């Protein structure tokens, strides 16, 4: 009897130690100093009983009175287990559908994501992020970086990609660290899989374009080109509305034209920027697919035009003076001339985009991290000040309400 017990103990010990060994090898892109939560844990927080807060919120909602942002921030601060994360999610939903929904604080959102990561509920964090309309979760760049890094560490690139698409929807590519991390994730996913649905292509195009516009180097320029190429493909195959509807993109036609303008700008500018061969090949492939099966696709398109899309496409085509389809031969010519010019000027980078991005990340990320950490510390102090102000205001309001109540009671007993 002892032997099976010992064996079971050994098995359990083995099970416990093995994952540690496996995880010791995996590293995210961000440094440990960025990811650790010492500063966040060290902040002063009020210790409240969650059940009291929950019953208070339920009573307030029943009486149809507004719940203050302080209550929900206290609730999320004091979450201490996985079940309580589900409760917090429910109360976040209720808060979003209450009159004070605009006042959900930054620190509450940051704390929510941190708590989800702490108690292993990354899928819950991702779910609330994707349904941001229902939960009101709009993290800042620091929180986005933390979330993406946790997914990169687990090599869950699919979820990291969803996070990048959410950043794109919120147009939150302000910080260079976010731009670098998202470009890394995007190129990683593009390398693995090549056939996408048109919605995924459109999302990829927009997510490559937005950080590419901010980065002033060859990775940035190539990302712009790649993004414009994908968006141009969707524009010509599914119409302009398919590109800009519910996306942070402009409704002016001519995405392929803009891709070619990027190429011409790089060819004619005296700076060092180069374009990747990968991106140029992608644009070439897009132009070929759009031009060559034009005869075969035109029959398909005429069939489609008899379906629902017919009237919509007609409306769009009436707007556009010259339909993009007719400009394709010109685009091909322009592409060929620009490509030959770039090769003559030796502005074509032959390394793959993923290697370039990894290199850039290694070079630039530590500096960006230092900036981000300094900004984060300042933000923590600002949040602390705001929190103390809110608590003071709540205390004053309570005292005032108590005094009024007492005055009213005294008046009633006197009368």
Partner 1 sequence: MARPPLRFRPRPDAFGWDAGRFRRRPALTARASGGAGVAATTMARKKVRPRLIAELARRVRALREQRERPRDSQLYALDYETLTRPHSGRRLPARAWADARRESRLLQLLARLPLFGLGRLVTRKSWLWQHDEPCYWRLTRVRPDYTAQNLDHGKAWGVLTFKGKTEAEAREIEHVMYHDWRLVPKHEEAAFAAFTPGMEDRPRPVPYPPLLRAMILAQRRKSGDTSAEEPLLNLERTRADPWDYPAQQEAKGRARGTAV
| Residue 375 lies near partner 1 (rule: CB under 8 A) | no
Please pick, from the candidates 7, 26, 245, 409, the single residue that binds partner 1 as defined by CB under 8 A: 245
Give the interface segment with partner 1, choosing from 249-257, 290-298, 354-362, 402-410 (CB under 8 A): 249-257
Q: Which one of the spans 114-122, 270-278, 307-315, 327-335 is the region binding partner 1 (CB under 8 A)?
A: 307-315
Among 315, 344, 391, 401, the residue binding partner 1 under the rule CB under 8 A is 315
Give the one residue of 29, 210, 283, 365 binding partner 1; rule: CB under 8 A.
210
Query: DSSP for 368-402?
Result: HHHHHHHHHHHHHHHHHHHHHHHHHHHHHHHHHHH
First and final CA of the chain: distance in angstroms?
A: 84
Does residue 317 bind partner 1 (CB under 8 A)?
A: no
- Of 311, 355, 359, 378, the one binding partner 1 (CB under 8 A) is 311
Contact flag: residue 98 with partner 1 (CB under 8 A): yes
Which residue's structure tokens are 């699919």? Answer: 158
**Cα–Cα distance measured from residue 245 to residue 223, given in angstroms and rounded to the nearest whole number:** 22
- Using rule CB under 8 A, residue 199 touches partner 1: no
Provide the minimum distance between the beta carbon of 342 and partner 1 in the complex, in angstroms, as a whole number.
25
Beta strands in 259-395, from DSSP E residues, in sequence order? 275-276, 348-349
Question: Tokens 């693995």 belong to which residue?
Answer: 192
Among 134, 288, 302, 340, binds partner 1 (CB under 8 A): 134
Quick check: 60 binds partner 1 (CB under 8 A)? no
Stretch that binds partner 1, among 3-11, 50-58, 163-171, 187-195 (CB under 8 A): 163-171
Please report the sign of the dihedral spanned by the C-alpha atoms of residue 264, residue 267, residue 269, residue 272: positive
Q: Is 265 in the site for partner 1 (CB under 8 A)?
A: no
Is 239 exposed, middle or buried, given 0-12, 13-18 or 19+ CB atoms closer than 10 A? Answer: middle
Taking CB under 8 A as the rule, does residue 170 contact partner 1? yes
Query: Which residue in 83, 171, 363, 404 binds partner 1 (CB under 8 A)?
Result: 171
Cα separation, 14 vs 33, in Å, equals 30
**Residue with Cβ nearer partner 1 (57 or 152):** 57
Does residue 93 touch partner 1 according to CB under 8 A? no
- Cβ neighbours of residue 212 under 8 Å, at least 6 residues apart? 183, 219, 220, 221, 222, 223, 224, 225, 226, 227
Place of tokens 């017990």: 5
Angstrom distance (rounded) from CA 278 to CA 260: 15
What is d(CA 363, CA 285) in angstroms, rounded to the nearest whole number? 32
**Is residue 318 within the footprint of partner 1 (CB under 8 A)?**
no
Q: How far is the CB of 133 from partner 1 (least distance, A)?
A: 5
Closest CA to 201 of 226, 183, 220: 226
For residue 170, give both structure tokens: 């919120």
Q: Is 99 in the site for partner 1 (CB under 8 A)?
A: yes
Cβ count within 10 A of residue 26: 10
246 binds partner 1 (CB under 8 A): yes
Give Dmax over CA atoms of the chain in angstroms: 98
User: With the C-alpha atoms ordered 198, 199, 200, 204, is the resulting torsion angle positive or negative?
Assistant: positive
Q: Site mask, partner 1, residues 13-52, x = CB under 8 A?
A: ----------------------------------------
User: Under a CB-based contact definition with an 8 Å cutoff, are residues 208 and 185 in contact?
Assistant: no
Is 130 an interacting residue with respect to partner 1 (CB under 8 A)?
no
β-bridge mates for residue 275, sequence order: 348
Residue 132 or 364 having the CB closest to partner 1: 132
**Number of chain residues interacting with partner 1 (CB under 8 A):** 28
Q: Find the part of the chain contacting partner 1 (CB under 8 A) among 95-103, 155-163, 367-375, 407-415.
A: 95-103
Residues that bind partner 1 (CB under 8 A): 96-99, 101-102, 132-134, 138, 169-172, 210, 213, 241, 244-246, 248-251, 311-312, 315, 319
């Amino acid at each position: 009897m002892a032997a099976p017990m010992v064996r079971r103990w050994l098995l359990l010990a083995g099970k416990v130690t093995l994952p540690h060994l496996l995880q010791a090898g995996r590293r995210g892109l961000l440094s440990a100093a960025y990811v650790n939560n010492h500063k966040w844990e060290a902040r002063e927080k009020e210790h409240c009983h969650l059940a009291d807060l929950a019953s208070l919120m339920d009573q307030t909602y029943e009486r149809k009175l507004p719940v203050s942002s302080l209550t929900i921030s206290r609730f999320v601060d004091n979450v201490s287990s996985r079940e309580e994360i589900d409760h917090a999610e429910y109360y976040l939903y209720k808060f979003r559908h209450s009159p004070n929904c605009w006042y959900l604080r930054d620190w509450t959102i940051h704390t929510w994501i941190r708590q989800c990561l702490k108690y292993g509920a990354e899928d819950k964090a991702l779910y609330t992020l994707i349904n941001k309309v229902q939960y009101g979760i709009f993290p800042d760049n620091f929180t986005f970086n933390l979330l993406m890094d946790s997914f990169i560490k687990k090599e869950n690139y699919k979820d990291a990609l969803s996070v990048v698409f959410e950043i794109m929807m919120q147009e939150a590519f302000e910080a260079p660290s976010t731009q670098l991390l998202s470009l890394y994730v995007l190129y990683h996913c593009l390398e693995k899989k090549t056939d996408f649905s048109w919605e995924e292509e459109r999302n990829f195009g927009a997510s490559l374009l937005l950080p590419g516009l901010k980065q002033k180097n060859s990775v940035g320029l190539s990302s712009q080109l790649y993004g414009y190429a994908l968006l141009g493909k969707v524009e010509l195959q599914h119409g302009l509305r398919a590109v800009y509807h519910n996306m942070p993109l402009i409704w002016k036609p001519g995405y392929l034209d803009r891709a070619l303008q990027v190429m011409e700008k790089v060819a004619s500018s005296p700076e060092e920027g180069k374009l990747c061969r990968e991106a140029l090949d992608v644009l070439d492939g897009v132009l070929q697919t759009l031009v060559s099966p034009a005869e075969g696709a035109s029959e398909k398109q005429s069939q489609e035009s008899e379906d629902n899309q017919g009237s919509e496409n007609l409306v769009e085509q009436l707007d556009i003076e010259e339909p993009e389809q007719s400009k394709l031969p010109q685009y091909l010519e322009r592409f060929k001339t620009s490509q030959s010019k770039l090769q003559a000027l030796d502005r074509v980078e032959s390394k793959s985009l993923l290697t370039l991005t990894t290199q850039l990340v290694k070079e630039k990320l530590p500096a960006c991290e230092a900036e981000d950490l300094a900004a984060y510390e300042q933000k923590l102090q600002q949040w602390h000040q705001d929190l103390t102000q809110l608590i003071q205001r709540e205390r004053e309001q309570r005292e005032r309400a108590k005094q009024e109540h007492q005055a009213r009671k005294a008046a009633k007993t006197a009368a």
